[in-house]
Amino acid sequence: MKLIRKDGDSFVFDLGKREKRLLLEVLKLYPLVPGAHHRVSRSADDSRVTENQKLLEEALAERTQENRRQLQAMLNDGQRFKETERGHQLTLSATQMEWLLQVINDIRVGSWLILGQPDDKKGKAIAVNNDNARYYAAMEFCGYFQMMLLDSIERQK
Amino acid sequence: MAETVEPVVLPDIEKEQQTATRSELEPGYLVVCWDDPVNLMDYVTHVFQVVFRWPKKKAEFHMLQVHNQGKSVLTRESAERAEHYVHQLQSYSLHATMERDA
């Protein structure tokens, strides 16, 4: 995945055929982070915070629903990926890039949760098996796509 | 894919002043971002820049504080604004909370 040009507000990427397939397969996993994963506060005794936990979970659920709708539209949009000699061209606006970053990171964090929250600093290694191997791959691929998107945004500043 | 990502818009404080109590408007809440081993450093920096409209240098400072010290206090706000920021950060899947400033 490589940024080849920026047309006004649009970022145009070159993707290999395998990259496109990987991106679409990874995106199909969305959403992975459960709503209850996010906590408003660590101060459980704060009544205002407790009241708003539910409201925030509802708001995040609405956001997830909307993201899912947009993602479905993207996956069903035959014109989103234009075929080229070497693979495909993907065009995204700055707003869509921001949206895609959120979706991809949800899959990355959700995969990490499914893998048991491995943490090198704490010596908690990833235990990959047949059941969770796809999430290990998804976590790594999401990291790759994130870096490509972030690098493109940075280079255009 | 439609272009309907929720814009980063702060709550209208002037409007809210008519009904909100004084304590709700006082900047008594800290917005804290906690370290986790999954969010990429460049991603966290980017999110801080987008959510708070910070320059890259400031965003990197707080990202490194999260990484090295386990957490960073990003801002001190009223309850409503703190909720808004926490919601924004969580929509990017960052580990962010609001804590009452003791």
In a domain, B91, yes or no: yes
Task: State mean pLDDT over A110-130.
Answer: 93
Number of cross-chain residue pairs from A and B with Cβ atoms under 8 Å apart: 88
Q: How far is B40 from chain A (nearest CA, A)?
A: 8
| Domain CATH code at residue B87 | 3.30.1390.10
Q: How far is A86 from chain B (nearest CA, A)?
A: 24
Which of these, A32, A45, A49, A3, lies nearest to A135 by C-alpha position?
A: A32
Q: How far is B13 from chain A (nearest CA, A)?
A: 18
- Domain parsing of chain A, residue ranges: 2-155
In a domain, B10, yes or no: no
Cα–chain center distance at A40: 22
Cα–chain center distance at A85: 28
**Predicted confidence (pLDDT) at residue B2 exceeds the cutoff of 70:** no
Of A40, A66, A74, the CB nearest to B97: A40
First-last CA distance in chain B: 45
Three-class SS state of A123 = coil
CA dihedral angle for residue B82, residue B84, residue B85, residue B88, rounded to 10 degrees: 160
At B64-93, the pLDDT tens digits run 999 999 999 999 999 889 999 999 999 999
How many structural domains compose chain B? 1
Of B1, B2, B98, the CB nearest to A40: B98
- The mean pLDDT value of chain A amounts to 90
Chain B's closest residue to A81, CA to CA, is B1
Of B6, B93, B97, the CB nearest to A106: B93
Cα–chain center distance at A108: 6
In a domain, B51, yes or no: yes
At A29-82, the pLDDT tens digits run 999 998 888 888 887 566 766 777 888 888 889 989 999 999 888 888 878 889
Cβ within 8 Å, pair B38-A106: no
In a domain, B55, yes or no: yes
Does this model's pTM top 0.95? My answer is no
In a domain, B66, yes or no: yes
- The mean pLDDT value of chain B amounts to 84
Cβ within 8 Å, pair A105-B97: no
**Alpha-carbon span B90 to A57, nearest angstrom:** 10
Q: What is the DSSP code (8-state) at residue B19?
A: T
Cβ within 8 Å, pair B90-A73: no
Strand runs (DSSP E) across B1-102, as ranges?
29-34, 71-77, 96-100
Per-residue pLDDT, B33:
98
